[in-house]
Structure formats: C-alpha cells, structure tokens
Amino acid sequence: MPLLELKGIIKFFGKLAALENIDLQVNKGEILGIVGPNGSGKTTLINLISGYYRPTRGTIYFDGRKISGLRPDQIARLGIVRTFQSNVLFEGASVIESMMISSRLQYKTNEWQAFWETKAYKDEHEKIVGNALNTLRFVNIFNETFRPAAALPHGFQRMLGIGVALAANPSVLLIDEPTTGMNHEEAMGVVENIREINKQGVTVVLIEHNMRVLLNIATRVIVLNFGNKIADGDPHEMMSKPEVVEAYLGTETL
C-alpha cells in the first residue's frame, strides 16, 4: 500500500483547471521529485495534500486513511508537513522562536502541565529546545539562532523554512522549491539535508526546477504540464522522453 495516494484529483480555481485528474502514489521512504513548467500545478498539488485547499473532486489517502477534507493542522499532526515556495515567517519572531512554535507537536505534556510548569514539562521543554538547536545546526543556520527571522538573508530563510518543518516531526515532508535564489554552496547544503532527512526515514516529495538537483537525489520523478501528469518514473529515463523535454524546453536548464 502506498503511503500517500491521490485518486482522481481535480482542482479548479473558478474556470481555471489547475489540476486535471491526477492519480499519484507516493511510497514510503522515497524521494519523489515533481517537475513541470511554471503554472503547471506543482504547488497546487502540495496545497491540496496539506489541506490548504480542498480538491474540487477526488480523494487523498494517507496510510489508507482519507485525509482530503481535514484541516491543515489535522494533516500536520498526522505527520505530513510542508514548506512554502515563498519565505513564510512568523512576523516578529526570532529564529529559535519560530523553531519552538513548530516544535509544538513534539510535546507530550498537556496545556495544563505547561501552564503550571511541572517538572515533566520543564524536562521535556529543555529536551525540545535542545532538539531545535540541533536542527538549526543541521540546516546550517545555528549562528542565526537569536536573530529575527525576517532579518535573515533569503537563503537562510529558506533553510529556516526546512528547519521549521522538520521540528514539526514529519513522516512525510513536502518541500516546495527549496533552492530557489540560493547560491551553489547553499543549494548543495540543502540537497545534502534532504538526502539525510530521507535517510532518517522521512518520505520526501520535492518540487524542484533544477533538474541537476533532482537527478542527484530523487528516486522517482513525475512531470506535470498544464495540470496533467505527463510522465512518472525513473529520473534519468525521464530525461530521454520527448514530451518531457518539450514541456521543459525553454523553462529551465537541463
């Protein structure tokens, strides 16, 4: 059974069909790349899985359970966490504050224990702050721990986006164009991160324009074009298909 399954997904925005009849299976442990030209529906796909939008038609299953129709917070609590294509931040929060908010799902103590600051809560809290700092180290922005998130340069904000998503304990991580606007070194760091995240057992769905990055880490790739899935398979084979090359031509460097 696939971990995540989309069946007959259709999404309309008014009269515009952003996705037309998508069937997709994501298997446990893979890194699934999604490519496609601008406006082909990649982000919409993530928005549907994460519950930000509801599909116009079709159903999404996670671990055999129907999740389309649930709220984003319910879906996140099931272990499906996403990042955003643009840098989305908590206004006014520092890096560590952002991390602690997204670490909420790690706490076992309830609101009442936290209110009274019981020993169980404090111990747990200390551990989770430690986790957050480790995650910041992992995504290479540890030195920015106490800076306001909004003051970070673009590349660091992208890395924070991944750190924040990781703190929410994902078993499936949906990443939307993590390397856009990054320099080569930063991008390589992110690629390494994703590989490592996946190695730790997290299933990854990765939207990425940069084919070189995808060929590097994806175990499978699907290609979207005008809201349709036009190819699905091994990343290297994918590049030899004429319709894929055609959809891609002129949009990106291969």
Partner 1 sequence: MIIGRYYIDHKSVVPKIVIGALIALVAIFPLFTTNMVTLSIIILSGIWAIAVMGFLLILRTGQFSLGQAAFMAIGGYVSAILTVKMGMSYWPSFVAAGIISGVIAFIIGIVVLRAGGIYFSIITIAFGEIVRIVAMNWESVTQGASGILTHAPESLTVGNLEINFAASVVPYYYFMLLLVTVSALFYWQIDRTRIGGTFRSVAANPVLAEHLGINLMKHRLIAFTVAGLFTGLAGAYYVTFLSVMNPLIFDLWKSVQIMMMTIVGGMGSIVGGPIIGATLLYTLGIYLSRVPIPNIQYLVFGGVVVLLLLVLPKGTGLVDQWGKLWRRVFGEPEDFQMPGEEGMDEE
Ligand X SMILES: Nc1ncnc2c1ncn2[C@@H]1O[C@H](COP(=O)(O)OP(=O)(O)OP(=O)(O)O)[C@@H](O)[C@H]1O
Contact residues: ligand X, CB under 6 A: 13, 16, 18, 36, 38-44, 85
Q: Give the residue, chosen from 54, 104, 220, 241, that forms a contact with partner 1 under the rule CB under 8 A.
A: 104
Q: Applying CB under 8 A, does 72 fall inside the site for partner 1?
A: yes
Site string for partner 1, 170-209 (x = CB under 8 A): ----------------------------------------
Q: Which of residues 71 and 122 has its CB atom nearest to ligand X in the complex?
A: 71
Among 23, 73, 234, 243, interactor with partner 1 by CB under 8 A: 73
Residues numbered 127 to 166 that lie near partner 1 (CB under 8 A) are 129-130, 133, 146, 164-165
Q: Is 87 in the site for Mg ion (CB under 5 A)?
A: no
> Which is closer to ligand X, CB of 19 or CB of 95?
19
Residue 14 or 92: the one with the smaller Cβ distance to ligand X is: 14
What SS3 string covers the chain? CCCEEEEEEEEEECCEEEEEEEEEEECCCCEEEEECCCCCCHHHHHHHHCCCCCCCEEEEEECCEECCCCCHHHHHHHCEEECCCCCCCCCCCEHHHHHHHHHHHHCCCCHHHHHHCCHHHHHHHHHHHHHHHHHHHHCCCHHHCCCEHHHCCHHHHHHHHHHHHHHCCCCEEEEECCCCCCCHHHHHHHHHHHHHHHHCCCEEEEECCCHHHHHHHCCEEEEEECCEEEEEECHHHHCCCHHHHHHHCCCCCC
Interaction between residue 93 and partner 1 (CB under 8 A): yes
Q: Is 126 in the site for partner 1 (CB under 8 A)?
A: yes
Closer residue to Mg ion in complex, CB, 43/140: 43
List of residues 6+ apart from 176 with CB closer than 8 A: 42, 43, 46, 82, 83, 84, 85, 207
164 binds, among Mg ion, partner 1, ligand X, none (CB under 5 to 8 A by kind): partner 1
Say if CB 173 and CB 204 are below 8 A apart. Answer: yes
User: Is the Cβ of residue 105 or residue 217 nearer to partner 1 in the bound state?
Assistant: 105
Residue 128 one-letter amino acid:
I
> Which residues would be at the binding site for partner 1 (CB under 8 A)?
50, 52, 71-73, 76-77, 81-82, 84, 88-94, 96-97, 100-102, 104-105, 107, 111, 114-115, 117, 121, 125-126, 129-130, 133, 146, 164-165, 168
> Which residues would be at the binding site for Mg ion (CB under 5 A)?
42-43, 85
